[in-house]
Amino acid sequence: MTCLAELGERELLKRLEGFAPAGQLRDDGALVPSSPGRHGVISSDVLVEERHFSTVTTPPDSVGWRAVMANLSDLAAMGADHVVGITVGLSCPGTLPWPWLESVYGGMVRALNHHGGHVLGGDCVEAPVVSLAITALGTVDQEHVIHRHGAQVGDWLICTGPHGLSSYGLDLMLNGAQPPSSGLQGQAMAAHRYPQARLDVPPQLRASQPAGTPWRVAGTDSSDGFAQALHLLCREQGLGAHVHNLPLPAAMAGLPHAEQHCLWGGEDFELVLALEPGWARALLGHHRGFCHVGMVSAGDQLLLKDPRTGTMEPFPPGEPFHHF
């Protein structure tokens, strides 16, 4: 009998698609009917104690903040421009101290205050460990939805920010480092504990869209790593990617395992987009923090430019996050 660990997340999702309408499970969120000209966007995520957070790495307000931002990042990846709020399914032991949980919900509210929206309700139940099942609700203009599919050969690949800081910060904390007040290590730990959902990106996409250019944006968030985002945007669509510029923070260059943190670390919650080159240039001019990392190619290989030789080589081996 096949177990879930043997299937892996991607195969599990493919099998679960049989229980939903065609295409319903293939993006970062689900679209539902809303007001005229608008779609509702729904995203769900679960954070489990000792799997996604721990007392070693994550204070309680950070647990709440991260739980919200992970879901809002999925809304951003669908093009949402309005956050309605969240519901929370809380599972926890009866012995859990109230001040800890109070701080978790305080972190949720602080995160929501950055983007609008409220805690709308939920449920609670006793369980051996703490888990938070969050469902986020937002809306998007029906003409400006972002899907994972839709990339074409020759599209530019754009990252909305650097990758690797969150993974590096987690690695530091797991090895006993304490957050300093400043410097790279402090930035990395803060990036892991208090990520930012990129809900600012959909409006910038609309503002930079060249006149006469149809809306065709392929995108996903990079919560499971930059390499996994390219896999979803390109390889799962029968396409490849030529990456000539890793979105690695300049301060991490030269650090041991920096490339691995960038490619495979995850939890940076940036967006990775495939755009027509003219639109990509306009977007890069609109926001200097964005980065042109490469282009969509024919075939299904993910290739990275070797800075020493200038040749395109397969992505170095790495281990993406496994959900089972």
d(CA 126, CA 93): 5
How far, CA to CA in Å, does 47 sit from each of 91, 98, 134?
Answer: 10, 19, 8
d(CA 269, CA 162): 10
d(CA 252, CA 54): 25
168 with 305, same domain?
Answer: yes
d(CA 291, CA 201): 13
User: Of 141, 175, 210, which residue sits at a domain end?
Assistant: 141
229 with 307, same domain?
Answer: yes
CATH number of the domain residue 227 falls in: 3.90.650.10
d(CA 195, CA 173): 16
The answer to whether the Cα torsion of 156, 257, 73, 136 is positive or negative is positive
User: Of 141, 169, 185, which residue sits at a domain end?
Assistant: 141
pTM value is: 0.89
How many domains does one find in the chain? 2
CB atoms under 10 Å from CB of 207, counted, come to 11
Which among 198, 81, 80, 63 has a CA at the least distance from the CA of 132? 63
Q: Is-contact 88 122, C-beta < 8 A?
A: yes
Residues in the chain: 324
* Predicted confidence pLDDT, tens digits, the chain (324 residues): 777 677 776 787 678 777 766 766 677 677 777 778 899 999 999 999 988 888 888 999 999 999 999 999 999 999 999 999 999 999 999 899 999 999 999 999 999 999 989 998 888 889 999 999 999 999 999 999 999 999 999 999 999 999 999 999 999 999 887 766 568 999 999 999 999 999 999 999 999 999 999 999 999 999 999 999 999 999 989 999 999 999 999 999 889 899 999 999 999 999 999 999 999 999 999 888 899 999 999 988 999 998 888 899 998 877 665 554
User: Which residues form the domain of 94?
Assistant: 31-141
